[in-house]
């Protein structure tokens, strides 16, 4: 809002310079406004003079001075100064900040959400873990990133659908069936070897136990039995996954089955379409996709020489299907170990005639669980993974979600279980939630003194009484929410919200320690309550986006 005013001021100054002949008319200007790191450099600054310098063959400092002379900034700015080697620093009047706060208060917190989505349809696909075992902590990280990202995109005006892709057509489900079958025979008292290529986890035994407990009738023929068990086990595991996700607060709009693509014939149809476009060829009895003619990658097999289609084949069909369902942007969230798959996918997107940037892949780096300062193993194959459920039971939903968002997704994450469990100041989740509860507590006390925060709107509140440096700082922090949301949405980086919150809340705690909110001066008290009201709403709104609760008491 205020940022926009600064852009206008710069534009006007440039136009005025053009009229005076100081700037050539044909020059086009895209002022970049940033928030300086140092407070003493003002609230906003622009580096525009640096860009003009080579074109005008003048030094940037001189240009900065000329621009400032031609600025009509008095309404918004306390002062505008040339600085450094050619920066222009803008110092916003305190009353402008206060008025902006009042404006947001009057319009409601929604006024802080940027409108950049324009209703464009986004399909965000995440988790998509094969139903061959319970979700582990790595899936949990992807789940939160996807969930929170979709919250962010919705808030900025996108239409978002969250989808889970179930790979139920591949060999892994078959393997799960075999694994269950062998465990089942063991339970029947047979001495059968358990091959190492089967799933080793305890949960496979549980599946077999379930079959016996429920007295399920198993086909005599071993092949049929395996097939039956594959389906049974897959469905059962999938139900467990769904429950874990719900417990984690991650709700999907759609579960999309790979097998459905085959049943509808979409896979064959897509291969046929690629064949017509001459994007495929036969070699060694297999059908190959010309990946190399689109991206820097090798050609890949779509149909194996035994006639079976590869995962890649159905994946092309899947993405085609997503586009045909009317989505403008597709977001895929994968474990970072799949990064080698990106060129292939991008190539296939091009072959569908789509812009490769219409698909965005977010990679989730590994999570290391720490207990007593030592890493905990989590290999699925070895059967000693730490499941998402275990972590949830241990630290709770709020801490788990928050911790997953404390790193950008493409960076390794060390998840300290002991820290997440602590109900103390060391735990960042509590630091944030405590601020929310603390503000609420002030409101409770205010009510006892006869001021009900809910009827604050009936009062004449004079925000010009908010003159403390800390108060202006908090106002700026509240308004900054807008920029953070925009940046987070554009870069698809949900962790920015977490860092913003920690920073914002720190400002509050500091203010709280120095300043009494409730006092004898009723007008001042009302003004401060309004400030805290808006602060609390931003905190609550941010926590809501993160899917973390905002307690009124702790």
Partner RNA sequence: GCGCCCGUAGCUCAGUUGGAUAGAGCGCAGCGCUCCGGACGCUGAGGCCGAAGGUUCAAAUCCUUUCGGGCGCACCA
Residues 47-66 that bind RNA (CB under 7 A): 47, 50-51, 53-54, 60
Selected from 365, 380, 473, 549, the binder of RNA by CB under 7 A is 365
Spatial distance between the Cα atoms of 193 and 176, rounded to a whole number of angstroms:
16
Residue from 65, 366, 376, 451 touching RNA (CB under 7 A): that is: 366
Segment near RNA (CB under 7 A); pick from 133-141, 200-208, 428-436, 538-546 = 428-436
Closest by CA position to 531, among listed 424, 453, 458, 455 = 453
For RNA, the closer CB: 18 or 438: 438
HSE-CB of 149 using CA atoms within 13 angstroms: 29
Residues in 302-341 at the binding interface with RNA, rule: CB under 7 A: 304-306, 308, 310-312, 336-341
Kindly state whether residue 381 participates in binding RNA, applying the rule CB under 7 A.
Answer: no
What b/e string do you get for 363-374 counting C-beta neighbours within 10 Å, with b at 16 or more?
bbbebbbbeeee
Under rule CB under 7 A, residue 407 binds RNA = yes
What is d(CA 427, CA 418) in angstroms, rounded to the nearest whole number? 10
Q: Which is nearer to RNA, 157 or 396 (CB)?
A: 396
CA dist., res. 171 & res. 177, Å (int): 10
Map residue 375 onto helix, strand or coil.
Answer: strand
Nearer to RNA, 218 or 400 (CB): 400
Q: Based on CB atoms, which residue is closest to RNA, 211 or 529?
A: 529
In the complex, minimum distance from the CB of residue 519 to RNA, in angstroms, rounded to a whole number: 8
Minimum CB distance to RNA, residue 303 (Å):
8
By CB under 7 A, what part of segment 266-305 binds RNA? Answer: 283-286, 298, 300-301, 304-305
Q: How far apart are CA 35 and CA 88, in angstroms?
A: 12
User: Which residue number, 125 or 493, has a Cβ lying nearer to RNA?
Assistant: 493
* Minimum distance from residue 512 beta carbon to RNA (Å): 5
User: What is the C-alpha to C-alpha distance for residues 213 and 384, in angstroms, rounded to an integer?
Assistant: 25
Nearest approach, Cβ of residue 261 and RNA (Å): 12
Q: Which is nearer to RNA, 118 or 423 (CB)?
A: 423
Classify residue 387 by its DSSP letter: B
- The CA distance from 310 to 316, in Å, is 10
Torsion over CA: 525, 531, 535, 541 (sign): positive
- Among residues 70, 73, 89, 387, the one that binds RNA under rule CB under 7 A: 89
Write the burial class of residue 396 (CB in 10 Å: 0-12 exposed, 13-18 middle, 19+ buried).
middle
Burial class of residue 424, CB neighbours in 10 A (0-12, 13-18, 19+): exposed
147 forms part of the interface with RNA (CB under 7 A): no
3-state helix, strand, coil in the chain (%, to 5): 55, 15, 30
Under rule CB under 7 A, which residues in 513-552 are in contact with RNA? 513-518, 552
Q: H/E element holding 98? A: helix 94-107
In 10 A of CB 552, how many CB atoms? 15
Contact flag: residue 213 with RNA (CB under 7 A) = no
153-172 positions binding RNA, by CB under 7 A:
167, 169-172
Site for RNA in 25-44 (CB under 7 A): 32, 34-38, 40-42
Any contact of residue 452 with RNA (CB under 7 A)?
A: no
Shortest Cβ distance from residue 337 to RNA (Å)? 4
Give the footprint of RNA on residues 496-515 (CB under 7 A): 496, 499, 502, 506, 509-510, 512-515
Nearer to RNA, 193 or 340 (CB): 340
**How far, in Å, CA of 209 to CA of 297, rounded?**
46
């Amino acid at each position: 809002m205020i940022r926009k005013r600064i852009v206008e001021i710069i534009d006007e100054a440039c136009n005025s310079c053009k009229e005076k002949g100081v700037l050539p008319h044909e020059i086009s200007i895209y002022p970049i406004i940033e928030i300086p790191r140092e407070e003493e450099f003002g609230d906003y600054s622009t580096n525009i003079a640096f860009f003009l310098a080579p074109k005008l063959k003048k030094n940037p400092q001189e240009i900065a001075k000329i621009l400032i002379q031609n600025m009509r900034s008095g309404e918004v700015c306390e002062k505008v100064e040339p600085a450094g080697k050619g920066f222009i620093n803008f110092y916003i009047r305190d009353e402008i900040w206060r008025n902006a706060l009042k404006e947001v208060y009057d319009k409601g917190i929604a006024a802080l959400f940027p409108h950049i989505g324009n209703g464009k349809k986004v399909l965000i696909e995440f988790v998509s873990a094969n139903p061959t075992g319970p979700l582990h902590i790595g899936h949990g990280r992807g789940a939160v990133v996807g969930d929170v990202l979709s919250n962010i995109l919705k808030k900025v005006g996108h239409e978002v659908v969250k989808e889970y892709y179930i790979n139920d057509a591949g060999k892994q489900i078959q393997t799960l069936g075999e694994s269950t079958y062998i465990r089942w025979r063991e339970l029947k008292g047979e001495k059968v070897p358990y091959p190492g290529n089967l799933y080793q986890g305890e949960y496979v035994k549980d599946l077999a136990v379930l079959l016996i407990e429920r007295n399920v009738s198993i086909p005599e023929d071993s092949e049929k039995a395996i097939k039956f068990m594959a389906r049974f086990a897959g469905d059962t595991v999938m139900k467990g996954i769904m429950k874990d996700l719900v417990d984690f607060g991650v709700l999907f709009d759609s579960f999309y089955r790979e097998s459905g693509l085959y049943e509808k014939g979409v896979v064959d149809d897509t291969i046929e379409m690629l064949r017509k476009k001459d994007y495929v060829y036969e070699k060694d009895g297999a059908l190959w996709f010309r990946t190399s003619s689109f991206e820097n990658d090798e050609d890949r097999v779509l149909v194996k020489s035994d006639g079976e289609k590869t995962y890649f084949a159905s994946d092309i069909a899947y993405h085609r299907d997503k586009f045909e369902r009317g989505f403008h942007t597709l977001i895929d969230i994968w474990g970072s170990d799949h990064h080698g798959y990106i060129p292939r996918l991008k190539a296939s997107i091009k072959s569908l005639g789509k812009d490769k940037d219409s698909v965005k892949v977010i990679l989730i780096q590994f999570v290391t669980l720490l207990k007593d300062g030592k890493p905990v193993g989590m290999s699925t194959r070895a059967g000693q993974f730490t499941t998402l459920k275990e972590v949830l039971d241990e630290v709770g939903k709020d801490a788990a979600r928050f911790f997953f968002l404390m790193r950008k997704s493409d960076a390794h994450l060390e998840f300290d279980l002991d820290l997440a469990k602590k109900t103390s100041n060391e735990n960042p989740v509590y630091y944030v939630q405590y601020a929310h509860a603390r503000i609420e507590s002030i409101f409770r006390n205010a009510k006892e003194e006869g001021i009900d925060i809910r009827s604050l709107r009936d009062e004449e509140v004079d925000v010009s009484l908010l003159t403390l440096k800390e108060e202006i700082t908090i106002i700026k922090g509240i308004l900054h929410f807008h920029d953070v949301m925009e940046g987070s949405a554009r870069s698809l980086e949900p962790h920015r919200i977490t860092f913003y919150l920690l920073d914002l809340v720190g400002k509050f705690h500091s203010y709280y320690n120095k300043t009494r909110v409730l006092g004898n001066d009723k007008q001042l008290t009302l003004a401060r309550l309004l400030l805290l009201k808006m602060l609390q709403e931003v905190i609550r709104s941010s926590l809501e986006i993160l899917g973390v609760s905002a307690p009124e008491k702790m």
